[in-house]
Structure 1
Amino acid sequence: MTSETAPAPPVTPGSETAPSRTGVRGHPWLTLLAVALGVVMVALDGTIVAIANPAIQKDLGASLADVQWITNGYLLALAVALITAGKLGDRFGHRQAFLVGIVGFAATSAAIGLSEGVAMVITFRVLQGLFGALLMPAALGLLRATFPAEKLNMAIGIWGAVIGASTAAGPIVGGLLVEHVSWESVFFINVPVGLLAVVLCLAILVDHRAENAPRSFDVPGIALLSAAMFCLVWAIIKAPEWGWGDTGTWTFLGIAAAAFTAFVLWEAKVREPLLPLGMFRSVPLSAGAVLMVLMAFGFMGGIFFVTFYLQNVHGMSPVESGLHLLPLTAMMIVSSPLAGALITKVGPRAPLVGAMIVTAVAMFGLSTLGRGTGTVEMSLWFAVLGLGLAPVMVGATEVIVGNAPLEHAGVAGGLQQAAMQVGGSLGTAVLGAVMASRVHDVLPGKWADAQLPQLPPEQADALGEAAELGIVPPAPEGTPEQVVDSMTGVVHDSFLSGMSLAFTLAGIVAALAAGVALFTKGGQHDTGPSVHV
């Protein structure tokens, strides 16, 4: 492919303009359309696969550990590769990285659907995570380079709305496909979406690269950061199983800390670092990354329990539970572009502080959910949560990507996504541990208060593990209905006690994040792009 370079027009800080386009190729809003379609695959995949896991387990005869690896393998690959993938986009161009990501993600999705054993499914899920890592930073890099400063927040707002809609649609689409087609169709659906995205990208996307884009690779930096991220995320994933005080957990956390330290020392002296430490001299960028971690901690960690609450306490099907989360999705879809417009007008600081306060209120409200909570009350708190999350998704993303130099836009996009992955994994693990501890603390007392027969230690442990998910183990045949009702009430009340504590902690974290948001400000956009067509 031939390449022509057009030097960027001179700009002054805060006045960056994207190259003017009169046709389809390189048009900012069409670029957003093409990018959004590719990102839909990754966002949809994040929740749709969870619905298919029981069917995969049954059809392939997989163990529980195998099924967990279908998710964990993907998350590990994604978290480890995101920043490196962003660097690849900065080096070779975000258009190329995005196209490779789309083709690879669609191809591995098809391979998963054709797999005949769970080992093949896990292998291709890991590869799928690597290709997904290419997509997300490249998407943000393309938006950063294509849109003028005054429209970037609106573009990120729409981009965030697409991600929110796709994420929430996952359980509904997945439930329908698994119920009426097959679990393989959950992966095959990515193939036509990917093909359409490739056609649009080839026709629309223009490759933007800064004149001083990196020309070499920091291989030792990649190795150190990959090892650090792997050990950190692995420790977080395994902590609920091993225990937070376990030697294995602390060993991996210690290795992660050592690798991160070595990475920082190496990056400080290498000529072209993987992650330029000078980026973190920007207080707003650093605050944006911390804010993204805290937001994901509360949101992903807290919302993890909501699906169990809806399905196991209220007895809803996966599709029904997905429909009950629509107020959250709808509010994010509507408010994300509005948040982008507001942030463009007044800057990110005030909207981000206000949004985290609203998110904290929503978390505290969700902590009051009970067995008798109706749809209207649930919908209210879900909607308030969506109202709070949308400006954070948009604003924190713009703060991170917008405060990074254009030549590091891909790395900044990878940093934003890595912060979300680490925050979400940490939130799920920590809040899960808090909830489990609470359930095991209150369950014996509630069981005794209900005057239910004392259980042997082995059965009591099994009951506690089931109660962590709001599941009532089947009672022995012939058990009186009154006793079954008492058992159900005790298990559900214990689960709700744990969920309430988890949401309360998530609310406290959101309130602390409002303080972090005080240190944010909009990006300067002071480097104009060179365009490679």
Structure 2
Amino acid sequence: MDPQPLRYRSAAGRWVLLATVLGSSLAFIDATVVTIALPAIGRELGAGAAGLQWTVNGYALSLASLILLGGSLSDRFGRRRLFLAGIAWFAVASLLCGLAPSIELLVAARVLQGVGGALLTPGALAILEASFAAEDRARAIGAWSGLGGIGGALGPFLGGWLVETGSWRYIFLINLPVAAIVLWVTARHVPESRNPAAARTFDIAGLITGVIGLGGLTYGFTAWPENGPADPVVLISLTVGVLGMAAFVVAERRSRNPLLPLTIFRTRAFTGANVVTFLVYAANGGVFLLVVVNLQVVAGFSPLASGIALLPVTALMLLLSARAGALGQRIGPRLPMSAGPLICAAALIWLAMVGAGASYLTDVLPPVILFGLGLALLVAPLTATALGALDDSYAGIASGVNNAVARVAGLLAVAVLPLAAGLGGGDLTDPAVLSPVYRTTMLLCAALMTAGSILAWLLIPARLPTRTPQPAFCDTCAPPLRPADIPPTDRSAQ
């Protein structure tokens, strides 16, 4: 007998939430915490700047390039199965990172870590979407967002402590016991699900062109801030990325069993949610890049004080995300997805005024709290809409698309926003140069948030339609269902 959808407050639901939060946190934390260990890595392995840069970029490149593949595979072969495979892969790669005797092997292991992250990241959200009852999904996704933010905030502190008291290798080796817990909880408590109509044949052309496209864009945007937009490597990478994505669209239109069914973009709410995601996460990329730097360089805060300045955002996400998800479920996603970015925009205009001699309590904390309230109101309904706009059978690919859009937006923002604000070849460590760049960047980010609010109001329905449940819980070894075996779906959101 197929398992029943889980309720948010049930013991089984909490186990599923624990597994997905811990698993996702592994990938989130390792995307950033390694930067704390770079000086120690360089000293021990004798690595130069290029090797250390690739220690960071190698992970980001493979993760972003393959995240669509991870989402598609989870729909085809089972979300729990791919999540377990991703966690196990990530753990083995973490062990290789911790034991790496040279910078070359460390970079290779980091690339493998990114592959594991690409398998587990979309699977976590897809599991939540497929496992919970429809009325509890938004609350579960909100709780996942808030708890995941805690992991992301604690990661740098934990990483710094491990590097100072032990070795940089511990920031990778500590993943092993966490991965073991996730594997045990997932195998024991997480139900399996997949798209029962998905073909088992593989879209090779879509895979190759998708990896080339996302890989080219990721590498180009990653190299842009350091090398500049006129650098041949940046230009070639971005050109390859654009051409690769164009070829990907052509391949998917022609494929009988596409990696990414383009028909999903006919659903207005799904497309709208991803457009809003792009704008909001581009703004977030600029905020989290420059606020902390501005507090140190211009306002004169210590590294520790500037590092914890944005912690109220994480605390508010933890406290309010699940409630915001439930609110979006009750009143519909349009209002919170429109109001949240507007609140963030007001906070960023306020933050733009933070300059020399600023006080944390009077000048920084109030707009940071306002920004956290806006994000808490926005993120859970946004993510729930990106997944809930499509049938449950597409939960994996919907999560993969939304994750890919968010990552590309963040990379683009880090590359482009400082240039758009007039940085040019200036130095971010010079207060006279940084101050006007910071102010303009915050205003640009506020404009992006405002645009996201307007588009959410125009593109997101007042309520998502109630869909006929798909038989998503199934034997993953069974053949795909015939179209005639699948109940019709509600197309009213299209």
- TM-score calculated relative to the size of structure 1: 0.84
**8 Å contact from structure 2 (residues 129, 137) kept in 1:** yes
The reply to whether residue 220 of structure 1 matches residue 205 of structure 2 is yes
Distance 2:148 2:159 in 1: 16
Q: How does 1:410-489 map to 2 (within 5 A)?
A: 410-435=396-421, 437-438=422-423, 464=426, 467-468=427-428, 470=429
The reply to whether residue 516 of structure 1 matches residue 458 of structure 2 is no
**8 Å contact from structure 2 (residues 23, 182) kept in 1:** yes
- 1:275: which partner in 2? 260
Q: Secondary structure at the match of 1:209?
A: coil
**8 Å contact from structure 2 (residues 348, 371) kept in 1:** yes
Distance 1:509 1:247 in 2: 29
Distance 1:269 1:523 in 2: 30
Please list the CA deviations of residues 8-41 of structure 1 after superposition, one character each: whole Å capped at 9, or x if unmatched: 9xxxxxxxx82789997xx333211221121121
Q: Secondary structure at the match of 1:527?
A: coil
Q: In structure 2, which of residues 124, 135, 141 is the aligned counterpart of residue 156 of structure 1? A: 141
| Pairwise CA distance, 1:275 | 0.5
- How many percent identity over aligned positions? 33
Q: In structure 1, which of residues 28, 36, 40 is the aligned counterpart of residue 25 of structure 2? A: 40
Distance 2:7 2:358 in 1: 54
- 1:407: which partner in 2? 393
The reply to whether residue 505 of structure 1 matches residue 490 of structure 2 is no
- 2:346: which partner in 1? 361
Distance 2:213 2:433 in 1: 37
Q: How does 1:51-450 map to 2 (within 5 A)?
A: 51-313=36-298, 318-376=303-361, 377-435=363-421, 437-438=422-423
Extract unaligned runs of 5+ from structure 1. 9-16, 441-463, 471-490
| Pairwise CA distance, 1:269 | 2.3
Distance 1:180 1:314 in 2: 30
From the CA coordinates, give the structure whose radius of gyration is larger: 1
Q: Are residues 63 and 306 of structure 1, via their aligned partners in 2, closer, same or farther at CA, if it must alter by over 3 Å?
A: farther
1:501 counterpart letter in structure 2: T
1:266 counterpart letter in structure 2: A
Q: Are residues 44 and 242 of structure 1, via their aligned partners in 2, closer, same or farther at CA, if it must alter by over 3 Å?
A: closer
Bigger mean CA deviation after superposition, 68-77 or 400-409: 400-409
**8 Å contact from structure 2 (residues 332, 464) kept in 1:** no
2:100 counterpart letter in structure 1: S
Please list the CA deviations of residues 421-458 of structure 1 after superposition, one character each: whole Å capped at 9, or x if unmatched: 101101111123335x4375xxxxxxxxxxxxxxxxxx
Distance 1:224 1:107 in 2: 28
2:442 counterpart letter in structure 1: F
Greater RCO (CA < 8 Å, at least 6 residues apart): 1
| Pairwise CA distance, 1:93 | 0.4
Q: Secondary structure at the match of 2:193?
A: strand
- TM-score calculated relative to the size of structure 2: 0.90
Please list the CA deviations of residues 97-146 of structure 1 after superposition, one character each: whole Å capped at 9, or x if unmatched: 11111111122112111112111111111110110111111111111111
| Pairwise CA distance, 1:163 | 1.8
Q: Are residues 358 and 181 of structure 1, via their aligned partners in 2, closer, same or farther at CA, if it must alter by over 3 Å?
A: same
**8 Å contact from structure 1 (residues 401, 523) kept in 2:** no
The reply to whether residue 493 of structure 1 matches residue 432 of structure 2 is yes
Aligned pair count reads: 471
1:297 counterpart letter in structure 2: A
Please list the CA deviations of residues 348-401 of structure 1 after superposition, one character each: whole Å capped at 9, or x if unmatched: 111011001011112212211112111212122222222112233212211111
